[in-house]
A and B are shown apart, each in its own frame.
Chain A
Amino acid sequence: MTTSTSAPRSAASSRTPLKQRVGGVLRARETGIAVLIVVVFVAATAKNEAFASANSVQQLLLGASLIALLAVGQTMVIVTRNVDLSVGSVVGITAYVVGMSFRDNPDMPVFLGFLIGIGLGAVFGAITGMVVTVFRVPSLVVTLAGLYLIRGLDGLLVDGVIINPQSIPREFQRIGYETVLGIPVLFLLVLAVVVIAAYVMRSFRSARDLYAIGSNPAAAELAGIPSEKRVFTAFLVSGALAGLTGALFVALYAQVDVTAGRGYEFLVVAAVVVGGVAIFGGSGTVVGAALAALLLNTIDQALVASRVSGFWTDAIAGALLLGAIAFDRSLSLRIARRLRSQEGAHRDV
């Protein structure tokens, strides 16, 4: 028995620092993004001090909020080795339906607006989840189809009639502009969702199942994890959060046309990947994804404040995405190589 404790000596001695390094880098992802946000913020302020004004910061947080909220749901889906590209269209259609409900029923209580948004989003999420799990169609295809299908429905529904601020009750709009201690209420709401989701993803069995499914689907099956049920739930939650985002869209902009939410799906996926969620599932946190949403928006606004062409924004977002992926890839390759040569040396002993 004593020999066995000393047996893995060569492995243990060279492995511990490696492990710490890996763990360190993973933890560093959230920290790294936070640092980047600060760097960009400081640089932009140096160029144009209006960037640090209370109003500008509020706009910054509000602009990131909707994408950060969507990133929470998207993280849950991507962690299971799936993807939900329909969220942008779901935001668009729920925003319009919520706005329409207020227009047609001016006395409708505010909470019903949220309920309609969340409920409608959940229905879309449930349908997507059903098709993915029951018919075993790759989610990329299903949700790409959903993206266009729902956008088409949205167009038919809108039919050129724009919802304008006059139709939205003051009460509801207040959620979009009111602040507490200078911090926008809407941002605090999203922050609460992120914190709760982060806690759930860490501390509940069913949420850990999501990571297990994405990490090794075959092993998940062997471990008795109800994969289909879990994946379905992930899509359901993603849809519901997209619905909530739609409702908040109305509160924030008070104006809805057919372009609402258009392109959000790619902003969200970009944020999630930059945030350190592995696109093939198994790892990543909602906090990283939400922070990345804030980072992307900060860069966007910083470039605007520095009067840089809007095209740069897209190019920089793309470069950041490539950088994040290249970083992850080179990291895992380096670890694999080190382990292999280590085992090789081991074997030749």
Chain B
Amino acid sequence: MEPRATADPLLVLERAEKSFGPVRALVDGSIELFPGEAHALLGENGAGKSTLVKILAGVHRADAGELRVGGVPLVFNGASDARDAGVSIIYQEPTLFPDLTVAENIYMGRQPTVAGRRIDRRAMNAAAREVFARLGVVLDPARPARGLSVADQQIVEIAKALSLNARVLVMDEPTAALTGVEVQRLFSVMETLRADGAAVMFISHRLEEVYASCQRVTIMRDGRFVRTAPIEEVSVDEIIRSMVGRDLDALFPKSETAPGEVVLDVDGIGEDGVFSDISFQVRRGEIVALAGLVGAGRSEVARAVFGIDPRSRGRVTVLGRELPGHRPRAAMAAGVALVPEDRRQQGLVMDMPIDQNMALASLDRLATGGLLRRSSERSLAVEWARRLQLKFGRLGNAASTLSGGNQQKVVLGKWLSRDPQLLIIDEPTRGIDVGTKAEVHRIIDSLVADGMAVLMISSELPEVLGMADRVLVLHEGRITAELSRAEATEDSIMRAASGLTSGAAA
């Protein structure tokens, strides 16, 4: 179906701005959605897509700009305002009531009633069944929502949107957690919605899905609108160039090192439904990056190597010693350290003093006769605070008092003080300001220059390109490309990460 350019747009967002403190998440968020179109919104992580979605959802209020729905200027002050205006959001992982039935989830608070305001279950289930029939899916309205697959949960959300007469459906990376069959089903549901004259805004990192399901595409970069075009008028190359198109700068110091002996040897590890057939090596003096989209299985691979998550197949060897699965302590004893993705939840005990956090991974070495002396914790922390140039008030202050970058340094210090042979670092600079970012990069670079092996996971392509000696690209739990430093470009990584392996296998 052609987007009817002659028709009036259902929803227009013009020059929306949004800042969080000093961070400008959205500088120019603009999009026009017409009835009957599926419209892709594309951009790298951090391009401002999520912020734009949250403005449409009524979760965030734009600082500036205009929003018109059906030609009427509106301001959404909450999720219910957006809903009343006919805008529904389908999140990647919907939030349902697991204990209630599918039909109750759809009609919560709006259950059909009979005399005396009693809920009419039969009518409610029938209405739900009718909505599912319109969508062309089979789902039992009377079953509990607990145990529904993510795909079915999304269908429930879409059914809810439909029963609310939503005209605009925003789907935020709905396919990230779906299987091939489920994606096809979602596309046919989108088709139905479009045929009814609704507008669907679709966010996906998988370009082949965009080509398969959308008529127009809007590209964003660094919080700004770049362009909108009919899908048939833009090539994959053009889209990728519009999405990334920026220069790498001196943010990434990189010393030349010659890789030495193999430190980490991963041989064919796999875990059902998470990743499969993962093999690679990391040598002394080398940074190997795991790249890929959110949900591709990067962190899961790292966690399985370290032994936090189980793996059912394959072998992991560190310096010739095979690691048992699911035993982080064995990995630590073999000289492996893991700096997790989420430092607030997994890396630090936020309410604990800085020095105790730093010593936390070394308690076995610091203790004498099972007892811990405060002073030994303190001296370890003093040493690493100096080496990492930590900026802090007092070492006795809670870790939560530090800035994000300095928190990351504490996590680094905690693991580096164990003198690891292999450092696994997940999103080393997420949410850190540019200055500290460069410092963290310098620290990693100097460690590698001293012969450490580093396995790095990063969603930021510039960081991958700037730091890594080799790049392994994951797509849906499999390695789709192994690129040398010379081969790795934003283009080749994005292709492999989107599953377009033909261009990246070289």
Is there contact, CB below 8 Å, between A339 and B147?
yes
Is there contact, CB below 8 Å, between B147 and A22?
yes
Indicate with 1 or 0, residue by residue over A192-218, a CB within 8 angstroms of chain B CB atoms. 000000000011110011011011101
State in angstroms the CA–CA spacing of A11 and B113 once bound together: 32
A219 at the B interface (CB under 8 A): yes
Is there contact, CB below 8 Å, between B113 and A205?
yes
The minimal Cβ–Cβ distance linking B157 to chain A, given in whole angstroms, is 10
Interface 9-residue window, one of B32-40, B45-53, B181-189, B399-407? B181-189
A residues less than 8 Å from B181 (CB atoms): 7-8, 10, 349
A104 at the B interface (CB under 8 A): no
B438 at the A interface (CB under 8 A): no
B99 at the A interface (CB under 8 A): yes
The minimal Cβ–Cβ distance linking B354 to chain A, given in whole angstroms, is 29
Interface 9-residue window, one of A164-172, A222-230, A295-303? A222-230
Tell me which of B97, B99, B152 contacts A8 (CB under 8 A). B152
A residues less than 8 Å from B151 (CB atoms): 8
Is there contact, CB below 8 Å, between B272 and A344?
yes
**Given A211-B97, A335-B147, are A3 and B118 also a contact pair (CB < 8 Å)?**
no
Tell me which of A5, A202, A204, A218 contacts B138 (CB under 8 A). A5
Beta-carbon nearest neighbor of A12 in chain B:
B138
**Given A225-B109, A345-B272, A349-B179, are A11 and B149 also a contact pair (CB < 8 Å)?**
yes
A283 at the B interface (CB under 8 A): yes
The minimal Cβ–Cβ distance linking B496 to chain A, given in whole angstroms, is 19
The minimal Cβ–Cβ distance linking B180 to chain A, given in whole angstroms, is 8
State in angstroms the CA–CA spacing of A209 and B99 once bound together: 12
State in angstroms the CA–CA spacing of A203 and B97 once bound together: 17
**Given A23-B143, A219-B95, are A212 and B100 also a contact pair (CB < 8 Å)?**
yes
The minimal Cβ–Cβ distance linking A205 to chain B, given in whole angstroms, is 6
Tell me which of B98, B147, B182, B189 contacts A216 (CB under 8 A). B98
Is there contact, CB below 8 Å, between B185 and A348?
no
Is there contact, CB below 8 Å, between A219 and B184?
no
A1 at the B interface (CB under 8 A): yes
Interface centre among B99, B111, B119, B477 (most CB of A within 10 A): B99
A18 at the B interface (CB under 8 A): yes
**Given A1-B136, A8-B185, A211-B100, are A225 and B119 also a contact pair (CB < 8 Å)?**
no
Tell me which of A10, A18, A348 contacts B276 (CB under 8 A). A348
State in angstroms the CA–CA spacing of A225 and B272 once bound together: 38
**Given A212-B100, A346-B273, are A218 and B140 also a contact pair (CB < 8 Å)?**
no
B residues less than 8 Å from A16 (CB atoms): 140
State in angstroms the CA–CA spacing of A5 and B181 once bound together: 11
Is there contact, CB below 8 Å, between A205 and B179?
no
Tell me which of A4, A204, A215 contacts B97 (CB under 8 A). A215
In the complex, which residues 71-115 of chain A have their Cβ closer than 8 Å to any Cβ of chain B? none
Beta-carbon nearest neighbor of B83 in chain A:
A224
B residues less than 8 Å from A47 (CB atoms): none
A343 at the B interface (CB under 8 A): yes
State in angstroms the CA–CA spacing of A224 and B110 once bound together: 10
Beta-carbon nearest neighbor of B120 in chain A:
A203
How many A-B contacts at CB < 8 Å in the complex?
Answer: 128
Is there contact, CB below 8 Å, between A5 and B136?
yes
B144 at the A interface (CB under 8 A): yes
Indicate with 1 or 0, residue by residue over B136-163, a CB within 8 angstroms of chain A CB atoms. 1110100110110101100000000000
State in angstroms the CA–CA spacing of A5 and B188 once bound together: 10
Is there contact, CB below 8 Å, between A225 and B152?
no
Is there contact, CB below 8 Å, between A204 and B118?
yes
Indicate with 1 or 0, residue by residue over A313-349, a CB within 8 angstroms of chain B CB atoms. 0000000000000000000000100011101111111
The minimal Cβ–Cβ distance linking A28 to chain B, given in whole angstroms, is 15
B residues less than 8 Å from A335 (CB atoms): 146-147
Q: How many residues of A contact B (CB 8 A)?
A: 47
A27 at the B interface (CB under 8 A): no
B96 at the A interface (CB under 8 A): yes
B355 at the A interface (CB under 8 A): no
B274 at the A interface (CB under 8 A): yes
**Given A22-B147, A208-B108, are A7 and B97 also a contact pair (CB < 8 Å)?**
no
A residues less than 8 Å from B149 (CB atoms): 11, 339, 343, 346
Beta-carbon nearest neighbor of B94 in chain A:
A219
A220 at the B interface (CB under 8 A): yes
Is there contact, CB below 8 Å, between A204 and B117?
yes
Interface centre among B104, B113, B146 (most CB of A within 10 A): B146
**Given A216-B98, A344-B273, A345-B272, are A3 and B188 also a contact pair (CB < 8 Å)?**
yes
A184 at the B interface (CB under 8 A): no
Tell me which of A18, A208, A339 contacts B104 (CB under 8 A). A208
A174 at the B interface (CB under 8 A): no
A282 at the B interface (CB under 8 A): yes
A residues less than 8 Å from B360 (CB atoms): none
B residues less than 8 Å from A203 (CB atoms): 118-119
Interface centre among A212, A278, A347, A348 (most CB of B within 10 A): A347
Is there contact, CB below 8 Å, between B111 and A3?
no
State in angstroms the CA–CA spacing of A278 and B98 once bound together: 12
Is there contact, CB below 8 Å, between B147 and A7?
no
State in angstroms the CA–CA spacing of A339 and B98 once bound together: 14
B residues less than 8 Å from A220 (CB atoms): 97
State in angstroms the CA–CA spacing of A109 and B179 once bound together: 70
B80 at the A interface (CB under 8 A): yes
B residues less than 8 Å from A283 (CB atoms): 99
**Given A23-B143, A205-B111, A344-B272, are A215 and B189 also a contact pair (CB < 8 Å)?**
no
**Given A208-B100, A208-B108, A348-B272, are A216 and B143 also a contact pair (CB < 8 Å)?**
no
State in angstroms the CA–CA spacing of A164 and B401 once bound together: 62
B residues less than 8 Å from A348 (CB atoms): 272-273, 276
State in angstroms the CA–CA spacing of A334 and B314 once bound together: 26
The minimal Cβ–Cβ distance linking B220 to chain A, given in whole angstroms, is 26
Beta-carbon nearest neighbor of A278 in chain B:
B99
A residues less than 8 Å from B138 (CB atoms): 5, 8, 12
Indicate with 1 or 0, residue by residue over B109-145, a CB within 8 angstroms of chain A CB atoms. 1010100011100000000000000001110100110
A residues less than 8 Å from B79 (CB atoms): 222, 224
The minimal Cβ–Cβ distance linking A344 to chain B, given in whole angstroms, is 3
State in angstroms the CA–CA spacing of A11 and B182 once bound together: 10
A19 at the B interface (CB under 8 A): yes
The minimal Cβ–Cβ distance linking B151 to chain A, given in whole angstroms, is 8
The minimal Cβ–Cβ distance linking A40 to chain B, given in whole angstroms, is 30
The minimal Cβ–Cβ distance linking A39 to chain B, given in whole angstroms, is 29
State in angstroms the CA–CA spacing of A223 and B160 once bound together: 11
Is there contact, CB below 8 Å, between A205 and B119?
yes
B residues less than 8 Å from A222 (CB atoms): 79, 95
The minimal Cβ–Cβ distance linking B474 to chain A, given in whole angstroms, is 14
State in angstroms the CA–CA spacing of A344 and B271 once bound together: 8
A residues less than 8 Å from B97 (CB atoms): 211-212, 215-216, 219-220, 282
State in angstroms the CA–CA spacing of A3 and B138 once bound together: 11
The minimal Cβ–Cβ distance linking A78 to chain B, given in whole angstroms, is 13
State in angstroms the CA–CA spacing of A62 and B74 once bound together: 62
State in angstroms the CA–CA spacing of A205 and B118 once bound together: 8
The minimal Cβ–Cβ distance linking A280 to chain B, given in whole angstroms, is 10
Tell me which of B99, B104, B152, B476 contacts A11 (CB under 8 A). B152
Told that A215-B100, A219-B95 touch, could you supply 9 new A-B pairs with CB distance under 8 A? A8-B137, A19-B144, A23-B143, A203-B118, A208-B104, A208-B108, A216-B95, A340-B272, A344-B271
A-B pairs, 6 with minimum CB distance: A344-B273, A344-B272, A282-B99, A215-B97, A219-B95, A7-B185
25 A-B residue pairs with Cβ-Cβ distance under 8 Å, sorted by A, are A3-B185, A4-B189, A7-B182, A7-B184, A10-B181, A11-B152, A18-B147, A19-B140, A22-B144, A204-B117, A208-B111, A208-B119, A209-B109, A211-B99, A212-B97, A214-B99, A216-B97, A223-B108, A224-B80, A282-B99, A335-B147, A344-B272, A344-B273, A346-B179, A348-B273
